[in-house]
Structure 1
Amino acid sequence: MTAHVIGRRGFLGLGAGLLAAATAGCGFGGADAGLRVAWYGGAPVHEALDAALAAFTAGHPDAQLAAERAAFGDYWDKLATQAAGGQAPDVFRMSMSYFTEYGQRGALLDLGEVAGSIRVGDLDPSVADSGTVDGRVLGIGQSTITHAGFVNRTQLEALGLEVPQRGWTWDELADLARSFTAAAGDGRYGTVDAGGIMQIFDVYARQHGTDLFTADGALAVGRDVIEEWFTFWDALRRDGVAPPADVTTESRTFETSTLVTGRAPIHFGWVQQATFYQPLMRDVLEVVAVPAGADRSPAGQFVTALDFWCVSSETGEAERAAQLIDFLLNDDRAIRAVGVTLGIPPSERARSLLGVDPASAAGKAIALVDAVSGQVGPSPAPWPRGYGELQETFQRLSDEIGFGQSDPARAAATFADEADRVLSS
């Protein structure tokens, strides 16, 4: 989910002739490679999808599939080059950060043309609808996500503190973090600094009565709410309850996070990330909802698709591509092969089929999705074009506050101005 601006700018800014020449030298599959399928991720994702594709070809011996795998950052550079040159893979994994961008530029096939080949009846409603842009079905959600808090139960209970329950508030987060820091007395912090995580701020904005962006891609949240958010985290940082900016900037991988290194017992992210954190920790990790507003309503939180399976608008294999996507979403063999490597499976049937241990990180993540699905607010519109750039800007401005180079009011005004510029360009 992390934004990758180089790929985005490559897609927008390079000439088609240059891109076509560049693509020819990259070793990507050509027209004789059959159906080209591309995705990003690490070794577990590659292994899972290889197994799923093997199961597909076992049942469809006439299908010729060519896999194109890459790490997240490399993937977007390659895909931008391919798409702009008219040589994108037939089926590819698409991040929410770039979904609208690629769709509005005509790179994605309207799956309404082959909709009969993709069964979506079992999908969670918020996922089934999340790939529609301007009335066109441009992607099918490959997994279900919601926001989550990750809490080190072992650390909290060692100090006589309790794991928060659904319905806790931002003020209660601050109180818990202060209590932990005071009781620990050893330089540990009570919480990660989430001030620069725009995706968590999205929940906070909705708790204040508005989505982060309007349906047509403009900034919807007020500057006063942005300033309030930055002020909240700045106060925790100044009091030593959240880490200083230099610690935060060095803690942005799963391995170096303050949660994994034991320097703070609370972190925030997307629910499926529990399965990334827990294997790196000996302590017991719990998965809880993001803090609610003062009224304790869960309406700010939402459930939506993590990423999408999309089909290139240039494909000559639309029916086969749709057949493969249907298989990845609905076939028991594919569901078991993929497991939770792409996120939480996007249907209750798939989640039940996996039979995940409820005490495991994956089980706890699934339980949160199931618990909040019927209570949270409606999903927002797909993220607007320029979302990835704004994500980086939001983090940069939070860092500037932490380093004393800005203040909440100035940072909020700057973000609003930058959002207006990026979203209108």
Structure 2
Amino acid sequence: MTTLTRRSALALFAGTAAVGALSACGTGAGSKNADGSVTLRVSWWGNDVRNNQTQQVIDAFQQAHPNIKIQAEPGVWSGYWDKLATQTAANDAPDVIQMDLAYIAEYGGRGALLDLSKQSQLDLSAFDQNTIKAGQYNGKLNGISTGQNALAVFANVNVFKKAGVAIPDDSKWTWDDYLRTAQALAAGAGNYGSSYGLTDQSLSIWLRQRGEQLYTQDGQTGFTVDGVASYMAFQKKLMDANAAPPASVAQEDIGAPVEQTLAATNKTGLSFWWTNQLAPLTKASGSDIKLLRVPSQDGNPKDDGLFYKPSMYWSASSRSKHAAEAATFIDYLVNNTDVAKIITTERGFSTSQKIQDAIKPLLTPTDKSALDFLSEIKPELGEPPAVPPTGSSKAADSLGRHTTDVLFGRASAQDAAAAFKSDADNMIKSAKK
């Protein structure tokens, strides 16, 4: 996002009174069609698998609700949030929005999302309180979680076989073990051993292993410069040991669609992904993938910092002229068993028992692997981290930029970490003005 766009979005969101006044304006799809129907714009990020599944769901919904037409707006992660910020700043947000944990406070905290708890069309009775709480911010239900997942190391079985390297025992491996495994893969397969985990959620796991946290419950940063520096230094250590790709390749990989990443094209044996991404990566790579716990500092899986994360959310724009219809569509997405049989686990494992029972006979071996992994790690999990505060949604971009500077040798890990902390603190502080 350019500076101008970012400032425009922040200026638009500033103050609940301004948001309230704008909420009556509606989105561009607000008026009724000639036949009396309404059009809902629905946006999401994804891959070919998710796009095809979602379109099937849209087609079925429109057959069941001929008075509601859906205008699909699929995108990819790398450009999704810039586009959404621009649309929201221009009072042109989609009616129904696929939302992420990193952004739900950013949009919900500024009044841009509908309070779904007040929409009678959405039935929440099938969901446990933890699921509902996961979408709440400042007392409002800004999104309903599509399911849960966890961060894992994806081990490409074919790359391991080609390199003649045994898949490590993830119940006791450390980051040093991870480095040695990645080196062996790179040497044996003639490729890259590991991708980089240059995301704020990967950093969150690293910090949790050190007794720190990305954000506190009161909406501040909860980490030290030394904590982030150790994370950045490890990424540089991977590259210097020829266990991970050069900085230029890493930079391209960060923004690549899932199907074009190093992991999906069998150019790396180890990579960091969420469990709900197992199916598309298995399909794209054509290889079996073994899910492994993230390494820990001491080899104890109870210290690896993992947690269950809402895969994503379905939210609605507070400025939609068709809130009832938007809530009706969201209810269809999260409660309808026919929808569940189409989506299965691609957006995570639903916590609704009704949905779980509906899809159980349809689970593929890949789905079962992800579910088994989530069940296996459950006794080891810690408390979920705090919801990222308003203003922090671009911290992930800052992290990637500063860590890439370390890989390129443009900054030391200590200086880059200090710059990242300054960025994150200032983002949060500026959002409160």
Q: TM-score, normalised by structure 2?
A: 0.83
Task: For residue 183 of structure 2, give the secondary structure of its aligned residue in structure 1.
Answer: helix
Kindly provide the CA deviation profile for residues 4-35 of structure 1, in whole angstroms up to 9, marking residues without a partner as x. 9987555225799xxxxxxxxxx942321525
Cα deviation for residue 150 of structure 1 reads 0.6
Q: Is the 8 A contact 1:351 1:366 kept in 2?
A: no
Q: Does 1:422 align with 2:430?
A: no
User: Take 1:101 and 1:86, find their aligned partners in 2: how far apart are those partners?
Assistant: 16
Cα deviation for residue 172 of structure 1 reads 2.3
Task: For residue 251 of structure 1, give the secondary structure of its aligned residue in structure 2.
Answer: helix
Q: Does 1:359 align with 2:357?
A: no
Of 403, 408, 415, 1:403 maps to 408
Cα deviation for residue 323 of structure 1 reads 3.0
Residues 377 and 126 of structure 1, relative CA distance in 2, 3 Å threshold: farther
Of 92, 101, 110, 1:96 maps to 101
Cα deviation for residue 398 of structure 1 reads 1.4
Amino acid at match of 1:147: L
Residues 408 and 15 of structure 1, relative CA distance in 2, 3 Å threshold: closer
User: Take 1:342 and 1:168, find their aligned partners in 2: how far apart are those partners?
Assistant: 29
Q: TM-score, normalised by structure 1?
A: 0.85
Cα deviation for residue 181 of structure 1 reads 3.9
Task: For residue 386 of structure 1, give the secondary structure of its aligned residue in structure 2.
Answer: coil
Q: Does 1:190 align with 2:193?
A: yes
Of 44, 52, 68, 1:47 maps to 52
Bigger drift between 351-360 and 401-410 goes to: 351-360
Q: Is the 8 A contact 1:151 1:287 kept in 2?
A: yes
Name the counterpart of 1:248: 250
Q: Is the 8 A contact 1:6 1:77 kept in 2?
A: no
Bigger drift between 93-102 and 392-401 goes to: 93-102
Name the counterpart of 1:216: 218
Q: Is the 8 A contact 2:151 2:274 kept in 1?
A: yes
Name the counterpart of 2:263: 259
Q: How does 1:298-317 map to 2 (within 5 A)?
A: 300-317=305-322
Amino acid at match of 1:359: P
Residues 58 and 181 of structure 1, relative CA distance in 2, 3 Å threshold: closer
| Residue segments in structure 2 that go unaligned for 5+ positions in a row | 15-26
| Residue segments in structure 1 that go unaligned for 5+ positions in a row | 17-26
Q: Is the 8 A contact 1:390 1:419 kept in 2?
A: yes
Bigger drift between 92-101 and 411-420 goes to: 92-101
Q: Give the total of aligned pairs.
A: 407
Q: Does 1:153 align with 2:151?
A: no
Of 379, 382, 389, 1:377 maps to 382
Name the counterpart of 1:23: none
User: Take 2:296 and 2:358, find their aligned partners in 1: how far apart are those partners?
Assistant: 31
Residues 51 and 394 of structure 1, relative CA distance in 2, 3 Å threshold: same
User: Take 1:281 and 1:374, find their aligned partners in 2: how far apart are those partners?
Assistant: 31
Q: Does 1:386 align with 2:388?
A: no
Name the counterpart of 2:111: 106
User: Take 2:225 and 2:424, find their aligned partners in 1: how far apart are those partners?
Assistant: 11
Amino acid at match of 1:189: Y
Kindly provide the CA deviation profile for residues 82-106 of structure 1, in whole angstroms up to 9, marking residues without a partner as x. 4345453433222333221111211
Q: Does 1:12 align with 2:15?
A: no
Cα deviation for residue 424 of structure 1 reads 0.8
Amino acid at match of 2:53: A
Name the counterpart of 2:239: 237
Q: Is the 8 A contact 2:165 2:185 kept in 1?
A: no
User: Take 1:344 and 1:236, find their aligned partners in 2: how far apart are those partners?
Assistant: 32
Amino acid at match of 2:196: D
User: Take 1:125 and 1:292, find their aligned partners in 2: how far apart are those partners?
Assistant: 30
Q: Is the 8 A contact 1:141 1:306 kept in 2?
A: yes
Q: Is the 8 A contact 1:141 1:305 kept in 2?
A: yes
